[in-house]
Amino acid sequence: MNETTQLPPLRERFFQRERRSVPAARQFAHESLTGWGLADSERGDDVLLCVSELATNALLHGVPPGRQFLVFLRYDGVVLRVEVHDSGPGSPRVADEADEGGRGLLLVAALSDKWGVRERELGKVVWCEFTRPARP
């Protein structure tokens, strides 16, 4: 599928605090990548995996009951930025070698060009960037 639609360079969507929101966030990201002509790029799967990991972290650790999280995607033709905003306290923790789980942020660090956390008055934004995710 190489068909592209003209999408705005910025897309965002709120998701409920429920398990089905992770695949829904991934689908939203896939639709965005498709619209930007990047779904079949060599880094398309990396972007989708990072969206899944960040959404999962928000769902499990960052979104209080009754709240939502926001997935924000921006593509300026050079850099694709993924942000997941949540309203929970604290910063995400990168797993130690001895930890049995919690490897999501290690995957994000390995697959993206840059990543980080920005504190907000209420919650945080965990983000990652992909530079020049070349079109197929």
Assess if residue 136 is contained within a domain: no
What is the reported pLDDT for 33? Answer: 96
DSSP for 105-131, written as a single string: HHHHHHHSSEEEEEE-SSSEEEEEEEE
Task: For residue 63, tell me if it sits in a domain.
Answer: yes
Does 1 reside within a domain? no
Q: 132 falls in which pLDDT band (50, 70, 90)? A: confident
* pLDDT given for residue 24 in this prediction: 99
Instruction: Examine residue 2 and state whether it is found in any structural domain, yes or no.
Output: no
Which pTM was predicted?
0.88
In a domain, 4, yes or no: no
Q: Is residue 31 part of a domain?
A: yes
Q: Is residue 3 a part of any domain in this protein?
A: no
* Boundaries of domain holding 71: 13-131
Instruction: Output the pLDDT for position 102.
Output: 62
pLDDT at residue 93 is higher than 80:
no
Burial class (CB in 10 A: 0-12, 13-18, 19+), 104: buried
Residue 25 has pLDDT above 70, yes or no: yes
Number of domains present in the structure of the chain? 1
Q: Is the pLDDT of residue 118 over 70?
A: yes
Say if residue 2's pLDDT is above 50: no
Asked, for residue 8, whether it belongs to a domain, the answer is no
CATH number at residue 69: 3.30.565.10
**Residue 3: C-alpha distances to residues 9, 31, 47, 76 (Å):** 17, 11, 19, 19
